């Protein structure tokens, strides 16, 4: 099984190398031989696997040949792009939704969560609803055709909204270009489908048609991610401490040795990410399987880390967006931090462009917290899908970022150890 995973990772990296090479040469007009004079900033997920980041750095610095590179988490880059010092960043992409609480440029470890649904799932829900009212383009298949997927993405941006004051059927038109170059015009009546599709973020039973696995990933603690090439991880210190009798000599090593050895959970997708599961029904219909500190003004509903679990909300439903935000903020350390996060919930990602989404999410969260807690959900006045990239560009020119850069020569000499020393997040 380990060999098959390794082969799959190598194959994936080869595909990524080809895609990035094409983007650099065909889109950015940069010759690959000239990359030795260019620098790169690698924007990574908040919920990450350390082994994957090591392979990405090797790809950028050795196989593609960039002069230097450093890593930054996407939610941290979003705060820089939005110009805020702290906040709960909700990043809704095409295939996933990431939530993380950021304070002073640091992503809070316990607050990170990744849900396996996004704008692409809303497209499928919209197509299903439109077909029930006579969608004229019957051959549309968002799963098999990139052209159809892009079409539904544009229709979602044009038609969908979360404004309860807009109701009734409206006549809409769209154009489709066939493979022979011919343009076809379709006309249809769009009514409640325009508001029902984005409501799937909050009523996730609609997402059952997408066949998505009901999983949510949280960040695994650093001491539970072992790497044979990292001679400074907790497992290495524990083993060498036993061999050298350092239990009493070094208090840090002694503390590590005293901790029970926890094997990392294994899942079908990311074997080093925690999958959370709640299977004990509570009085309010939400499964509870943890006893950590509750969030401000919210019932005690929390994540639980299990080896092969699946996070389930209610009767086997995918977790709604508002509940995921409440859970993430609820795992912050102090009530003061939680209040700050409630007052600064930033929406980013290409799938947050639905009119009324921020106001709807704010209303849902406000109804579930104590009176007196200010809830503010907002987007910045720019393309929401470009906020993280803008933040990464800003970070690359900061004076304080000089110590983050990892050069090609340094990576060849020291390898993984540099990520532990220079990563702007807890490694």
Give all strands (DSSP E) within 106-200, no chain letters.
106-107, 113-115, 170-177, 183-190
> Is residue 322 domain-resident?
no
The pLDDT of residue 410 = 93
pLDDT for residue 406 is more than 60: yes
At residue 270, the pLDDT reads 47
CA trace torsion 372, 374, 375, 378 (10° rounding):
160
Q: Does any domain span residue 393?
A: yes
- What is the CATH classification number for the domain harbouring 64? 3.30.420.40
Among 28-42, 86-100, 255-269, whose mean pLDDT is lowest? 255-269
What separation in angstroms does the CA of 169 have from each of 127, 191, 246, 377? 16, 4, 74, 29
Q: Is 45 inside a domain boundary?
A: yes
Local confidence band at 10 (pLDDT 50, 70, 90 cut-offs) = confident
> Residue 250 domain-assigned?
no
Residue from 174, 192, 212 nearest 126 by CA: 192
| Three-class SS state of 274 | strand
What's the pLDDT at 262?
Answer: 38
CA distance 155 to 198: 12
Q: What 3-state DSSP class applies to 292?
A: coil
What's residue 209's pLDDT? 76
Domains contained in the chain, number: 2
Domain boundary among 188, 209, 230: 209
Do 127 and 196 belong together in one domain?
yes
Q: At what angle do helices 234-244 and 251-258 cross, to 10 degrees?
A: 110
- Shared domain for 16 and 72, answered yes or no, is yes
Residue 331: what pLDDT? Answer: 92
Note the pLDDT of residue 167.
79
Say which residue, 287 or 94, is predicted with more confidence.
Answer: 94
pLDDT in tens, 146-196: 888 999 999 999 999 999 888 778 888 888 887 777 888 989 888 889 999
CATH code where residue 156 lies: 3.90.640.10
Half-sphere exposure of 279 (CA within 13 A, CB side): 9
Tell whether 14 is covered by a domain: yes
- Residue 357, pLDDT > 90, answer yes
Compute the distance between CA of residue 174 and CA of residue 155 in angstroms, rounded to an integer. Answer: 8
State which of 168, 185, 209 marks the end of a domain.
Answer: 209
More confident residue, 304 or 376: 376
| Higher pLDDT pick, 323 / 240 | 323
Concatenating the DSSP letter of every residue in 61-107 gives IIIS--SEEEEEEHHHHHHHHHT-SEEEEEEE-SS-EEEEEEETTEE
41 closest CA partner among 78, 66, 65: 66
The angle at the Cα of 303, spanning 301 to 307, to the nearest 5 degrees, equals 145
**Mean pLDDT, rounded, for 204-229:** 66
Residues 192, 196, 197, 200: what is their CA dihedral angle, to the nearest 10 degrees?
180
Q: Are residues 199 and 141 in the same domain?
A: yes
Per-residue confidence at 8, pLDDT binned at 50, 70, 90? confident
When pLDDT is averaged across residues 345-355 and rounded to a whole number, the result is: 94
Confidence label for 229 from pLDDT (cuts 50, 70 and 90): low
Same domain, 68 and 140: no
Residue 427: pLDDT above 70? yes
Q: Distance (Å, rounded) from C-alpha 161 to C-alpha 194?
A: 6
Mean of the pLDDT values across residues 343-368? 95
Q: Which residue has the higher pLDDT, 198 or 257?
A: 198
Which has the minimum average pLDDT: 134-138, 207-211, 336-340, 407-411? Answer: 207-211
Q: Which helix (H) or strand (E) holds 85?
A: none
Return the pLDDT at 323: 94
pLDDT digits (tens, 9 = 90+) for 114-160: 898 999 999 999 999 999 888 898 888 888 888 889 999 999 999 99
Q: Is residue 100 within 8 Å of residue 111, measured between CB atoms?
A: yes
Phi/psi of residue 113, each to 5°? -150, 145
**DSSP for residue 204:** G
- Asked if pLDDT for residue 358 goes beyond 50, the answer is yes
Q: CA-to-CA distance for 111 and 103, rounded, in angstroms?
A: 11
Structural domain range at position 174: 120-209
What pLDDT does 207 receive? 86
Task: Identify the band that residue 297 occupies on the pLDDT scale cut at 50, 70 and 90.
Answer: very low
pLDDT of residue 355: 93
Q: What share of the chain is helix, strand, coil (3-state, %, to 5)?
A: 45, 15, 40
Helices (H) then strands (E): counts for the chain: 14, 14
User: Count of residues for the chain?
Assistant: 427
Give CA–CA dist 291/420, Å, rounded: 31
Give yes or no for residue 16 having a pLDDT over 60: yes
CA–CA separation, 146 vs 138, rounded Å?
16
362 found inside a domain:
no
> Could you tell me if 204 and 129 lie in one domain?
yes
Please determine, for residue 80, whether its predicted confidence score (pLDDT) is greater than 90. Answer: yes
- The pLDDT value given to residue 304: 38
Mean pLDDT of 17-32: 95
What is the full DSSP assignment across 5-35? HHHHHHHHHHHHHHHHHHIIIIIS---GGGG
Bridge-based pairing state of the strands 305-306 and 183-190: unpaired
pLDDT at residue 388 greater than cutoff 80: yes
How far is Cα 215 from Cα 245, in angstroms, rounded to an integer?
A: 42
Backbone angles phi, psi at 149, to 5 degrees: -65, -40
Residue at which a domain ends, from 209, 224, 250 = 209
Cα separations (Å) of 130 from 149, 158, 195, 196?
Answer: 15, 14, 12, 11
User: Within 13 A of 340's CA, how many CA atoms are on the CB side?
Assistant: 14
Give the alpha-carbon dihedral of 149, 380, 24, 71, to 10 degrees.
-110
Q: What pLDDT is attached to residue 214? A: 56
Question: Cα separation of 297 and 326, whole Å?
Answer: 10
Give pLDDT, residue 233.
60
287 found inside a domain: no
Lowest mean pLDDT among 67-81, 152-166, 270-284, 338-352: 270-284
Average pLDDT, the chain: 80
| pLDDT class of 212 with cuts at 50, 70, 90 | low
Question: Is 113 inside a domain boundary?
Answer: no
């Amino acid at each position: 099984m380990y060999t098959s995973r390794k082969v799959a990772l190598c194959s994936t990296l080869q595909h990524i190398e080809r895609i990035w090479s094409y983007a650099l040469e065909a889109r950015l007009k940069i010759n690959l031989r000239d990359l030795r004079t260019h620098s790169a900033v690698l924007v990574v997920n908040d919920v990450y696997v350390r082994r994957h980041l090591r392979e990405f750095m090797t790809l950028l610095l050795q196989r593609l040949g960039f002069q230097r590179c450093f890593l930054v988490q996407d939610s941290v880059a979003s705060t820089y792009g939005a110009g805020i010092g702290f906040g709960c960043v909700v990043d809704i992409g095409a295939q996933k939704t990431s939530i993380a609480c950021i304070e002073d440029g640091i992503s809070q470890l316990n607050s990170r969560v990744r849900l396996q649904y996004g704008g692409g799932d809303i497209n499928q829900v919209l197509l299903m609803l439109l077909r029930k009212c006579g969608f004229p383009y019957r051959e549309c298949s968002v799963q098999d055709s990139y052209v159809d997927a892009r079409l539904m993405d544009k229709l979602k941006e044009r038609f969908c909204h979360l404004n309860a004051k807009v109701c009734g059927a409206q006549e809409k038109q769209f154009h489709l270009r066939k493979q022979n170059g011919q343009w076809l015009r379709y006309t249809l009546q769009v009514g409640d489908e325009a508001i029902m599709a984005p409501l799937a973020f909050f009523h996730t039973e609609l997402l059952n048609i997408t066949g998505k696995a009901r999983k949510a990933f949280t960040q695994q603690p650093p001491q539970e991610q072992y790497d044979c090439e990292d001679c400074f991880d907790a497992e290495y210190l524990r083993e060498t401490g036993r061999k050298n009798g350092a239990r009493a000599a070094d208090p840090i090593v002694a503390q590590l040795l005293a901790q029970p050895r926890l094997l990392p959970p294994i899942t079908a997708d990311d074997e080093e990410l925690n999958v959370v599961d709640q299977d004990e029904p509570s009085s309010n219909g939400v499964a509870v399987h943890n006893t950590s500190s509750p969030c401000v003004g919210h019932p005690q509903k929390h994540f639980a880390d299990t080896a092969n679990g699946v996070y389930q909300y209610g009767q086997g439903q995918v977790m709604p967006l508002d509940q995921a935000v409440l859970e993430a903020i609820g795992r912050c350390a102090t009530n003061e931090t939680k209040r700050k996060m409630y007052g600064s919930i930033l929406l980013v990602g290409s799938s947050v462009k639905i009119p009324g989404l921020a106001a709807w999410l704010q209303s849902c969260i406000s109804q579930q917290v104590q009176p007196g807690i200010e809830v503010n959900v907002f987007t910045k006045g720019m393309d929401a899908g470009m906020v993280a990239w803008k933040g990464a560009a800003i970070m690359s020119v900061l004076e304080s970022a000089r110590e983050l850069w990892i050069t090609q020569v340094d990576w060849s000499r020291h390898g993984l150890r540099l990520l532990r020393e220079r990563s702007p997040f807890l490694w």
